[in-house]
Amino acid sequence: MTAPLTERTAGETGDDQPSVLLDGVSKTYGQGRNAVPALDDVSLSVRRGEFVSLLGASGCGKSTLLSLVAGLDRPTAGRIDTRGGKIAMMFQEPALFPWLTVSANVEMALRVRGVARKERRARAAELLEIVHLGGFGARRPHELSGGMRQRVSLARALAQEADVLLMDEPFGALDAMTRDLLHDELERIWRERGLSVLFVTHNVREAVRLGDRVVLLSSRPGRVAEDFPVGIGRPRVIDSPAVAGLASTVTERLRQEVLRHGR
């Protein structure tokens, strides 16, 4: 079940074709008695320009799924198709190089792409402006707050000129106010760039606040337990009655899934 984009039609995002397609994907670690199934027969698609939030109990395979889509690991069975699109990934920790300046951290992604030095500097400055960090290029990561470091990480991801942005609990360690501000920034950048986003979180309200859809995975091994369309207009507020109402429904379904697996 795929929900329509809120305030953006498929035509506005280019077309209705998937930018990420998982078809019967399974992943098992180890062999024999030591085999640990992480994902089982997962079929999921993310349309171009769509924001999909991924929820589930700890250990249900959410991060494994992102790693498979990113090409960091291979599925045991099934097929993953990213339609030749470029993939960028953000983690919970910014993973910045502490000895490099903020600008140099962003430039690193451009350097890997083979962008010339002069162009790298100008492009890094532009990206830092996009994430509202203009003027901070000469700082070192330790001089920034946690939220600012995540903005640098986002700028670095954008420097990869990706079509698909994979986000693994990028705001999980931040305080509520900083997280709320970064929700606004992420939504703005997503809308402006027409990115396809697959966003992993444990925060149900965050999932509803950001997503066009909320996909719930079962406990291990992860399977698609339910797909919730988010028919709430944008912009959204995380504490709005509409967001809270749907979050309550999703939370109850998540609770049922956890109890069903005895966890």
- The H or E element spanning position 245 is helix 241-260
Q: Closest Cα partner for 220 from 20, 58, 112, 34?
A: 58
Give bridge partners of residue 37 from the DSSP assignment: 28
Domain that holds residue 232: 18-86+163-260
Instruction: Give residue 257's pLDDT.
Output: 81
* Integer CA distances (angstroms), 36 to 40, 47, 61, 66, in order: 11, 30, 11, 18
Instruction: Give residue 191's pLDDT.
Output: 92
Task: Report the percent of the chain where pLDDT is more than 90.
Answer: 68
Same structural domain, 55 and 173: yes
Instruction: Kindly report, residue by residue over 77-117, the tens digit of the pLDDT.
Output: 999 999 888 999 998 888 899 999 999 999 999 988 888 88
pLDDT at position 8 over 50: no
Please say which residue of 108, 134, 161 terminates a domain.
Answer: 161
Same structural domain, 42 and 167: yes
Same structural domain, 72 and 46: yes
**Cβ neighbours around 47 below 10 Å, total:** 24
Domain count, the chain: 2
| Banded model confidence at residue 58, pLDDT cuts 50, 70, 90 | confident
Please say which residue of 129, 161, 193 terminates a domain.
Answer: 161
| Assigned domain for 173 exists | yes
Question: What DSSP letter does each residue of 11-36 carry, written as one string?
Answer: TTTS-S-EEEEEEEEEEEES-GGG-E
Instruction: Give residue 11's pLDDT.
Output: 36
Instruction: Give residue 262's pLDDT.
Output: 58
Upper half-sphere CA count for residue 9 (Cβ side, 13 Å): 2
Average of pLDDT values for 178-187? 91
| Assigned domain for 48 exists | yes
pLDDT at position 132 over 60: yes
Instruction: Give residue 15's pLDDT.
Output: 57
Please say which residue of 138, 161, 184 terminates a domain.
Answer: 161
Q: Residue 176: is it exposed, middle or buried by C-beta count within 10 angstroms (0-12/13-18/19+)?
A: exposed
Instruction: Give residue 1's pLDDT.
Output: 34
Instruction: Give residue 209's pLDDT.
Output: 97
Q: Which amino acid appears at position 170 of this protein?
A: P
Same structural domain, 154 and 206: no
Q: How much is the mean pLDDT over the chain? A: 88
pLDDT at position 129 over 90: yes
Q: Which residue has the higher pLDDT, 5 or 91?
A: 91
Instruction: Give residue 212's pLDDT.
Output: 97
| Banded model confidence at residue 197, pLDDT cuts 50, 70, 90 | very high
Q: Which residue has the higher pLDDT, 14 or 31?
A: 31
| Assigned domain for 151 exists | yes
Instruction: Kindly report, residue by residue over 207-230, the tens digit of the pLDDT.
Output: 999 999 999 999 888 999 999 999
What are the tokens at 200? 């992993």
Task: Report the percent of the chain where pLDDT is more than 70.
Answer: 93
Instruction: Give residue 95's pLDDT.
Output: 87
Same structural domain, 114 and 39: no
Average of pLDDT values for 184-196? 92
| Assigned domain for 108 exists | yes
Same structural domain, 232 and 253: yes
